[in-house]
Amino acid sequence: DMLNLTASQAVAFRRLADTGFRPRGDLIFFAVADEEHGSAHGARWMAEHELDSIRA
């Protein structure tokens, strides 16, 4: 399970936002759940509904 990495990344993104960091391009935190159950409401849903976010 990768929850420790996911949590660390979420905290890092929040810290960057709190300090006023502005990247040159888009910085997207993309995380989904249920990968252990077929991803019907996770990665598959994101691919079907948020493809532009994935391509970014």
Answer whether residue 3 is part of any domain: no
Answer whether residue 6 is part of any domain: no
Instruction: Provide the residue range defining the domain that includes 27.
Output: 23-56
Residue 16 vs residues 33, 34, 38, 39: alpha-carbon distances, Å: 23, 27, 32, 29
Domain count, the chain: 1
What is the tens place of the pLDDT at every residue in 13-38?
A: 999 999 999 999 888 888 877 667 76
Answer whether residue 34 is part of any domain: yes
Q: Tell me what pLDDT residue 47 has.
A: 85
Answer whether residue 56 is part of any domain: yes
Answer whether residue 9 is part of any domain: no
Q: Tell me what pLDDT residue 22 has.
A: 92
The pTM score is 0.61
